[in-house]
Amino acid sequence: MDWSLVNLAVSFAAFGLLARLWPCNPEQPRLLSRDLPDNVIYWLLGVLLYGGLVTLLIRGGLGLLLGAHGATASAAVLAGYGWTSRLPLALQAVLVIVILDFVQYWLHRLFHTRSLWPFHAIHHSAEQLEWTTTFRIHPVNFVVYGAGALAVVQLAGFLPGAFAIAAVVNSLMGPLAHANVDWTFGPLRYVIVSPVYHRWHHVKDPAVYNRNFAPTFPIWDLMFGTCYMPKGVLPSSYGVEGVPPHFLAQMIWPFQEIARRFTSKADAAASA
């Protein structure tokens, strides 16, 4: 928790300075956005509750699949096993980052389908997009997209050190991708996700926010036809319609929205 607070303070200073020097949307507050209080609550939720979730998913999943052998298998997975654990640690870390990015690309697309969109819409509801929007994730979204994806990749047997390195890289990439900065990374625009690249994913226009799903490597968007990066144009006008503005209501709203859909279908069937 102490290190998390230090990291948060340094990030506020660093991204506040970047937003002042190279803002993508100068009309936005550079430091204290309207959505900041709720984003901080989401950050606290992550710090306090999500820490051991990957381990819990691995132990629970293998326990269900393997019964009495689940504990042994879980211990092997969490410690690293097989040929992947014998690769150089740096290579393992690179493979973890790339494989996790590929898995999350497809999970991200899944959350943009009608069934799961209410949970992901919470992340898109920020109207003043900035680096703390990274943490604005509904628990259902986090369990599947964050912890679930990481648990799947961990089954491949990489060493814990590789995941530690990958965690550092991803903890930098997430806030940078959401930062209010006009960087496109120039010749590397299609190599690494830039702030401008990901900000296009958050614009209100549904035709555009169903693009740019890749967390780190645009190659997935290029390969599967979901890349959107117009030259010489900067994104603006973020958020989605219908999502309530504050944390507690946002925790409940996706379930209410799904229940409303079922009720509407039932009413339509009854009146047919």
- Cα separation, 99 vs 92, whole angstroms: 10
Reported as a single tens digit per residue, the pLDDT across 122-148 is 999 999 999 999 999 999 999 999 999
Predicted pLDDT of residue 269: 62
- Residue 172 domain-assigned? yes
pLDDT at residue 267 greater than cutoff 70: no
- Residue 32 domain-assigned? yes
* DSSP assignment of 201-222: HTBS-HHHHTS---SS-THHHH
- Residue 179 domain-assigned? yes
- Residue 19 domain-assigned? yes
- Residue 261 domain-assigned? no
Domains held by the chain: number: 1
pLDDT at residue 5 greater than cutoff 80: no
pLDDT at residue 225 greater than cutoff 60: yes
pLDDT at residue 12 greater than cutoff 60: yes
Confidence category of residue 253, pLDDT binned at 50, 70, 90: very high
Mean pLDDT of 182-210: 93
- Residue 234 domain-assigned? yes
- Residue 262 domain-assigned? no
- Residue 260 domain-assigned? no
Structure tokens at 214: 């890749």
- Domain limits for position 128: 2-251
Q: With b meaning 16 or more CB within 10 Å and e meaning fewer, what string describes 22-40?
A: ebbbeebebeebebbebbe
